[in-house]
């Protein structure tokens, strides 16, 4: 490790728990978006190469892997590709739908036939012609041109006619991945900011390009030999099974990071899901609040959630937790250490096997930096920490 890397771990108070390492996810965003990883731009997703490393390092074929806060489904896809069984959960319905699509092989000819049908029958529809309106956003006209709304409605109408549920889900994700690019919101940051120049009146061209890319990826998926369970579940609630997971990967929201339901609020709105309802089940991460005292609430939320999660870890099983600290008004807040101390006191059978500094590189760092504020008022450190736990036999 370099002196700078060691300094970051000492600053976080994480240098005395276990052996230290520094990891970097090699490759550009495009290079690590192989298979179906890249069919939907999901901000803040877990790096595919790190998920693959955990799975290959700590499990054998058909061992059970779990990701209780799975987001875009990085872990479940890597588990499926490596012939591992997997339980993949999230509170966000969009995330759950995306995970299912990313792990479901569908014949290319069937998908192309449906795409041709959509293109041949496409026409923008007014709300009078098709009563489908987005929900959960205060001012639809603020985020979408009138023509764009009609265009999206026309595509929703045709997608809703698809009888095969797997193909219908596939095209629902293709449409969801087109929403932000045609809206009046910027595509460069997770948070919603106006960028009226990039708004598009018609959604079809964007939708077709997204679909063509996704068709190649989904039709190239192997037929899964493993057992995959994908479902909505709030990780703050107990799980219905005991200690049967050989590996658990956890990548929760960070304190003072953005709200994932808000990041996807435009997409959710066209699915007729109010993001405010989804937010009620999310970890309280106090985005944009900037009050250090709120760290207590975040740590307690995460403490109880991790206790539920680790209860499903098998003897000699491993849990990898990727998380980050924050800086508020110039003060470094050791969020990870605070959580680690409480979690270990609750779970005497759990030990720390290693502490890893995760250093973003390439284009990953550029958009990550745009999300993490470093002013003297509010900020989040760019580096993440990965804590590797093991349950003593």
Same domain, 139 and 91: no
3-state secondary structure of 257: coil
Residues listed for the chain = 393
Same domain, 69 and 206: no
Give the domain-ending residue among 162, 185, 219.
Answer: 219
Q: What is the mean pLDDT of each run of 10 residues along the chain (393 residues)?
A: 94 96 79 91 89 98 98 97 98 97 98 98 98 94 97 98 98 98 85 81 98 98 93 96 98 77 93 92 62 82 96 98 87 93 98 93 46 44 87 89
Same domain, 313 and 357: yes
Same domain, 134 and 236: no
Give the domain-ending residue among 158, 190, 219.
Answer: 219
pLDDT at residue number 285: 55
Give the count of domains, the chain. 2
Same domain, 26 and 146: no
Query: Would residue 283 count as lying in a domain?
Result: yes
Q: Classify residue 221 as left (phi > 0), alpha (psi -120 to 50) or beta.
A: beta
Same domain, 310 and 169: no
Query: Would residue 367 count as lying in a domain?
Result: yes
Query: Would residue 236 count as lying in a domain?
Result: yes
Long-range contacts of 82-87 (CB under 8 A, 24+ apart): 82/52, 82/55, 82/56, 83/225, 83/226, 84/55, 84/59, 84/226, 85/226, 85/227, 85/228, 86/226, 86/227, 86/228, 86/229, 87/229, 87/245
Query: Would residue 101 count as lying in a domain?
Result: no
> pTM to 2 decimals?
0.92
Give the domain-ending residue among 219, 253, 279.
Answer: 219
Q: Give φ, ψ of 41 to 5 degrees.
A: -80, 105
At 233, which CATH number? 3.40.50.150
Burial class (CB in 10 A: 0-12, 13-18, 19+), 83: middle
Query: Would residue 14 count as lying in a domain?
Result: yes
Query: Would residue 376 count as lying in a domain?
Result: yes
Same domain, 288 and 374: yes
297 lies in which domain range? Answer: 3-96+228-391
Q: Give φ, ψ of 229 to 5 degrees.
A: -120, 110
Same domain, 247 and 333: yes
Torsion of CA 57, 51, 13, 245, to 10 degrees: -70
pLDDT at residue number 362: 52
Residue with tokens 């179906």: 36
Same domain, 251 and 374: yes
Same domain, 196 and 245: no
- Please count the other Cβ atoms lying within 10 Å of the Cβ belonging to residue 91: 22
Same domain, 121 and 184: yes
- CB contact set of 300 (below 8 Å; sequence gap of 6+): none
Distance, in Å, from the CA atom of 131 to the CA atom of 7, rounded to the nearest integer, reads 58
- CB contact set of 345 (below 8 Å; sequence gap of 6+): none
Same domain, 258 and 368: yes
Query: Would residue 102 count as lying in a domain?
Result: no
pLDDT at residue number 306: 97
Query: Would residue 103 count as lying in a domain?
Result: no
């Amino acid at each position: 490790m370099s002196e700078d890397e060691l300094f970051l771990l000492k600053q976080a108070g994480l240098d005395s728990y276990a052996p230290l390492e520094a990891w970097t996810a090699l490759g550009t965003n495009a290079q690590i978006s192989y298979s179906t990883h890249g069919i939907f731009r999901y901000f803040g997703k877990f790096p595919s190469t790190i998920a693959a490393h955990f799975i290959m390092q700590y499990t054998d074929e058909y061992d059970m892997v779990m990701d209780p806060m799975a987001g875009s489904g990085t872990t479940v896809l890597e588990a499926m590709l490596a012939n591992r069984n997997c339980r993949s959960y999230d509170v966000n319905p969009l995330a759950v739908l995306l995970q299912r699509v990313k792990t479901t092989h569908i014949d290319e000819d069937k998908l192309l036939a449906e795409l041709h049908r959509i293109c041949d029958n496409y026409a923008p529809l007014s709300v009078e012609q098709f009563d489908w309106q987005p929900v959960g956003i205060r001012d639809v006209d603020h985020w979408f041109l009138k023509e764009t709304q009609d265009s999206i409605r026309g595509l929703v109408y045709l997608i809703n006619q698809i009888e095969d549920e797997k193909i219908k889900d596939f095209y629902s994700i293709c449409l969801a991945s087109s929403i932000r690019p045609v809206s009046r919101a910027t595509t460069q940051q997770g948070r919603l900011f106006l960028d009226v120049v990039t708004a598009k009146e018609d959604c079809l061209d964007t939708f077709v390009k997204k679909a063509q890319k996704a068709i190649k990826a989904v039709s190239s998926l192997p037929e899964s030999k493993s057992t995959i369970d994908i479902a909505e579940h709030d990780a703050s609630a107990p799980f219905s099974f005991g200690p049967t997971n050989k590996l658990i990967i956890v990548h929760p929201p960070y304190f003072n990071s953005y709200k994932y339901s808000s990041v996807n609020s435009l997409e959710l709105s066209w699915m007729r899901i109010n993001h405010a309802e989804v937010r009620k089940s999310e970890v309280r991460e106090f985005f944009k609040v900037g009050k250090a005292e709120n760290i207590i609430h975040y740590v307690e939320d995460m403490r109880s959630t991790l206790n539920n999660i680790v209860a499903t870890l098998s003897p000699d099983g491993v849990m990898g937790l990727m998380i980050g600290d924050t800086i508020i008004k110039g003060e470094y807040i050791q969020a990870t250490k605070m959580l680690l101390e409480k979690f270990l006191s609750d779970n005497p059978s759990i030990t720390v096997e290693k502490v890893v500094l995760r250093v973003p590189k390439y284009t990953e760092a550029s958009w990550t930096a745009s999300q993490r504020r470093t002013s003297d008022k509010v900020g989040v450190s760019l580096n993440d920490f990965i804590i590797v736990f093991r349950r003593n036999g």
